[in-house]
Structure 1
Amino acid sequence: MKEVLIASFDMEVGGVERSLINMLESFDYGNYKVDLMLYRHQGDFMKLLPSKPNLLEEIPQYTTFRKSISETIKEGYIVLGLSRILAKVNTNYYHKRTKIAEPGYYQMQMMWRYTLPFLPKMEKEYDVAISYLWPHYFVAEKVKARKKIAWIHTDYSIIETDIEMDLKMWKKFDHIIAVSEACKNAFLAKYKDLESKVSVIENITSPEFIQKMSQEQLDNRMVNDKRFKLLTVARLSHAKGIDKAVKALRLLKDKGYTDISWYVVGYGGEEVKIKELIRQNNLDDNFILLGKKTNPYPFMKACDLYVQPSRYEGKAVTVTEAKILAKPIIVSNYSTAVSQIDNGEDGIICEDLSVESIAVEIEDLYKNEQLRNKFVDHNMTCNHSNVDELKKLYSLIG
C-alpha cells in the first residue's frame, strides 16, 4: 500500500477546501494510506473532514502562517515574526514600484522565502507527496517523497509573483495539476518550460452530498424575501469582484429594478470596504452580506439566479455547485469562464469584466423567464458527477 501525504493550510470555509473534502471523501483508501497535513487545525470545515485519512498533528512553526505577526512573536517564534515583517516591507516597496492590484500573492511568496530556513522538515518519507494549495514550498523543500505533485487552483495570467523564485519551486515537482484546461493554459503562458509536467484534473464534486446538504431548512430573511433573489458564494476579496456586484445592483436599481435583492455568502479581508460601498450606494436593504456559512447550499437552492462576478478564477467550485442545484447562472468574463459555462446553454458569460456587462446580463435574465427555465432544465438533466477524475491522479501516483 502506497504512502501518500496531502498538505494544505487549514479548513476555513472556501472553494479549495470544499474541493479537498470532496477528494478525500472519494479517495481509494484500499490502495493508498493517506496522511493529511494541515498547517493549522482550524476552520469550520474541520468537522466535515472524513475519518479515513490520518490527520497529522500540527507542527507549531507552520501554524504561525495563519496568525498575526504579533501573535507569532508572542508565542516565541521571533525569527519567524521578523521574517514576516521583512516580507511585508519588501512587498510594500514592490507594490509602490509596480502598482500591482493585489500584492497578497507576492507577499506570501516573500514570507516563505524568508521563513524557509527556519522551518522544520518532516521526518517520514512518502511514496507521493501532494501539495494542494499554493504556495507549495513546504512539500517542495521540507518533505521527502519519491514523487511530488502540486495543484493549481487559480488563473496565473492575473496574479503577480516572483517568476524566478516560483520556477525553482515548480521544478521540484514531478507533476503539476490544473483544475481546468483554461487554468492550465494560463499557467503555461507564464511557465512554458513546465508543459511536460502539467495535466488537468477537475475539482471533484459529489452531487449527492450537495443535494443532501441543500435540504437543510433555512429560517432567515432570504427565505422570506419575495423579491428576485441573486446569490454569490465567495470570499470578500478583490479577486471575487463583490465590489462590482454592489455597483451592478446600483445600476439596476437606477433603471427601476427595485425588486431585485443580492445576497452574498462569504467573508474576507474586504468586508469593511464592501459594507461601506453598500452604504454609499444606499443598498442596505438590497445587498445583503450573510457572512460565513459552513453550508452554503440551502442559500443556493433558495436563489433565483446565481452570479459569479469574479475578476479571475482557476475554476470556481461554486459555479459547478450551482449547476448541480439546477440554477440559472451568470459569470463575468474572466479568462477561464469558458471552461465552466457553455454560453447560452447552461448559463451566461458576460461580454467583459465590467460592472455594466454584469448588470446587462442580470437585466436580460430577470426579464427572460423562458431562458432561465432553459438553463434550469439543462442543469437538472446533466450528470455533474466526476469522481472518475481521480483515476487520472492514481495514474500519476503510479
Structure 2
Amino acid sequence: MKKKILFIINTMGQAGAETALIELLKKLQTMDDIELFLYVIIPCGELFEKVPRKVKILNKTYSKASLHSFLGHMIIAKELIYSFFYKLTGFKNCKLIIGNIKEQKAKGNKLQWDKLLWRLLAEGRPIRKDTYHMAVAYLEGAATYYLGDKVKAACKAAFVHIDYELAGYSPYMDRDCYKSMDRIYVVSKGVGEKFSKIYPQYRKKIRLFRNLLDRELIVEKADRGIGFTDDFDGIRLVSVGRLHYQKAYDLAIEALAKILNEGYKVRWYVIGEGKERSNLKKLIKKYGVREAFVLLGKKDNPYPYINQADIFVQASRFEGKSIAIEEAQILGKAIIASDCTGNAEQIISGHDGSLFSLNVDNLVREIKKLIDNPILRGQYEKNTKEKNFEDPKDMEDFLYLIRARR
C-alpha cells in the first residue's frame, strides 16, 4: 500500500517557504510508494497554481488569488471571523494572546500581530479524520499548531524556516506543540541553534533540511522574461521580499537618500507586496526618493529583474535562510546582505558577497563600495556562480523517516 503523506502550510502565497514546498512536492510525487496530500490553513495564494498534479488538495474550496489582493484580504478576514466568533477561539485564547503580547514587548521587538493570530486560526480548523503515515507542518505557527493538535499520524515532522527567537513566536503561544514531533527540520544551522535556545529539550530531534530550488527553471525564466522597461542607465539595486518589518526597507529608503545626496546615480527596486506598503510610501516621500526607490509590487517572474540588476541587496532584520539570496546566487549576482541568521551561512563575506551589521551607515558603506569597485563586483559574481546549494543527505533523512515507519 502507498504511504499517505500530509503536508500542512499556513497559506500558498508567493513566498520563499511556499516555493520550497512546491519543489519538495515535485520530488516526492515521482516516488511510486507515496501518496501526497496538502492542507492549507488559509486556503488562498498564487502558488495553488503550481501544486503538482499528483498532490491531492484537501481544502474543500481554495483561491489562487494573491493574499494581498482585495479577494485575498476578504478570505483572510472571513477565516479570522469564522475562527474568532463562530468557533470562539478568540475568547478561549484571550489570556494566551495577552500573555504573548507581554512576551513580545519584553523582548523589545516590534509587536508582530500575525504571530498572535496563528493560534486562533489553527484552533478554528476541523480535526482531520483520516490517519496518515506521516504528517508534515511545513511552516511555523498555525500549520505546526494544527499538526500537533488535530492530525493523527504515525510520524510527525515540523519545519522551521525563521529565526525563532526574533520572529515573534514563544513557548507560551506554542503550548509545547513540538513535543509530538518526531523530527524538527531547520533550513540552516543558525536556525537550528536559535531554535535550540528556545527548546533545548528537543535538540536531538533537529535535522538540517535546506531549501530546494529548481536551478534550471530559474535560469530559463530569467532569460525569457522582460524585466526593466525604463530607460535608467545608472546602477540598479534589487531586493526581493514581502513588504514587512522583517525586511528593513525603512532603513533601505534612508540609506538610498544618503547615497543619492553624495551624487551617485542609483535606483533601488523592490519586488514584493505586503502590509507595509503605505508606511514605506510615506518614508519614500519623506526622504525625497520617489523616482529612485521603486516598489514594483509582486511579480510572477522576478528573475529577469534580478538578472539585470547590478547588485542584489538583502538587508533583513532577521531571516531563516533566504530563498531570494539563493535565487540571486543562481543568477550570479553580487550580493550585499545583513549579517543575520541564515544570511551568514549563505555568503562568505569578501568572497562571494558582503555581510554587514544592520544599520543605515553600514548599508550605505557597502553599497558605495561595490558601486565604486566593479572589479570586486565581478569577482563576487564569478564566485557566486560556483556555489552548490543542495545536499542529498537532507532528503535521505526525510525519506528514511517515511520508510522506517510501518
Query: What TM-score, normalized by structure 1, do the two folds share?
Result: 0.89
1:293 partner SS: coil
The counterpart of 2:381, out of the listed 376, 386, 389, is 376
Structure 2: distance between partners of 1:185 and 1:175 = 15
Structure 1: distance between partners of 2:118 and 2:225 = 42
- Alignment root-mean-square deviation, CA: 2.8
Q: Which moved more, 1:88-97 or 1:387-396?
A: 88-97
Aligned to 2:283: 277
Residue 199 of structure 2 corresponds to residue 199 of structure 1:
no
Deviation digits for residues 153-175 of structure 1 (CA, Å, limit 9, x no counterpart) = 00023133332442511101111
Residue 103 of structure 2 corresponds to residue 103 of structure 1:
no
The counterpart of 1:306, out of the listed 302, 306, 312, is 312
The alpha-carbon distance between structure 1 residues 203 and 72, as it changes in their structure 2 partners (threshold 3 A), is: closer
Residue 131 of structure 2 corresponds to residue 125 of structure 1:
yes
Opposite residue 127 of structure 2, the aligned amino acid is: K
Opposite residue 376 of structure 1, the aligned amino acid is: E
Aligned to 2:395: 390
Please give the residue correspondences for 1:248-267 in structure 2 after superposition, counting only pairs within 5 Å: 248-257=255-264, 259-267=265-273
Deviation digits for residues 337-392 of structure 1 (CA, Å, limit 9, x no counterpart) = 22111111111111x11111111101001111111111111122334455663223
Following TM superposition, by how much is the alpha carbon of 1:33 offset from its aligned partner in structure 2, in angstroms? Answer: 1.1
Residue 237 of structure 2 corresponds to residue 235 of structure 1:
no
Deviation digits for residues 31-74 of structure 1 (CA, Å, limit 9, x no counterpart) = 311111123442222222221212223379xx9x9757863587
Deviation digits for residues 218-249 of structure 1 (CA, Å, limit 9, x no counterpart) = 26445x32110000000100111111111111
Residue 251 of structure 2 corresponds to residue 244 of structure 1:
yes
Structure 1: distance between partners of 2:6 and 2:228 = 41
Opposite residue 104 of structure 1, the aligned amino acid is: W
Please give the residue correspondences for 1:1-398 in structure 2 after superposition, counting only pairs within 5 Å: 1-27=2-28, 28-58=30-60, 71-72=78-79, 78-80=85-87, 83=90, 90=98, 94=102, 98=106, 100-104=109-113, 106-108=115-117, 110-111=119-120, 116=123, 119-135=125-141, 136-166=144-174, 168-218=176-226, 220-222=228-230, 224-257=231-264, 259-350=265-356, 352-386=357-391, 389-397=394-402, 398=404
Structure 2: distance between partners of 1:97 and 1:73 = 23
The alpha-carbon distance between structure 1 residues 91 and 76, as it changes in their structure 2 partners (threshold 3 A), is: closer
**Runs of at least 5 residues in structure 2 that lack an aligned partner in the other structure:** none
The alpha-carbon distance between structure 1 residues 48 and 312, as it changes in their structure 2 partners (threshold 3 A), is: same
Residues 149, 174 of structure 1: 8 Å contact kept: yes
Opposite residue 379 of structure 1, the aligned amino acid is: T
Following TM superposition, by how much is the alpha carbon of 1:336 offset from its aligned partner in structure 2, in angstroms? Answer: 2.9
Deviation digits for residues 84-112 of structure 1 (CA, Å, limit 9, x no counterpart) = 79659737963896454133354135525
The alpha-carbon distance between structure 1 residues 220 and 381, as it changes in their structure 2 partners (threshold 3 A), is: closer
Residues 261, 286 of structure 1: 8 Å contact kept: yes
1:288 partner SS: strand
2:268 partner SS: strand
Residues 205, 386 of structure 1: 8 Å contact kept: no
The alpha-carbon distance between structure 1 residues 373 and 133, as it changes in their structure 2 partners (threshold 3 A), is: same
Structure 1: distance between partners of 2:75 and 2:125 = 17
Deviation digits for residues 95-136 of structure 1 (CA, Å, limit 9, x no counterpart) = 896454133354135525xx62x5421111001000001111
Aligned residues: 390
Structure 2: distance between partners of 1:263 and 1:49 = 29
Query: What TM-score, normalized by structure 2, do the two folds share?
Result: 0.88
Following TM superposition, by how much is the alpha carbon of 1:214 offset from its aligned partner in structure 2, in angstroms? Answer: 1.2
Residues 176, 199 of structure 1: 8 Å contact kept: yes
Structure 2: distance between partners of 1:179 and 1:93 = 27
The alpha-carbon distance between structure 1 residues 84 and 297, as it changes in their structure 2 partners (threshold 3 A), is: farther
The alpha-carbon distance between structure 1 residues 10 and 304, as it changes in their structure 2 partners (threshold 3 A), is: same
2:247 partner SS: coil
Residues 84, 91 of structure 2: 8 Å contact kept: no
Structure 2: distance between partners of 1:355 and 1:30 = 52
The alpha-carbon distance between structure 1 residues 310 and 128, as it changes in their structure 2 partners (threshold 3 A), is: same
Opposite residue 332 of structure 1, the aligned amino acid is: S
**Runs of at least 5 residues in structure 1 that lack an aligned partner in the other structure:** none
Structure 2: distance between partners of 1:47 and 1:68 = 17
Opposite residue 246 of structure 2, the aligned amino acid is: A
Identical aligned residues as a percent = 27
Structure 1: distance between partners of 2:57 and 2:76 = 26
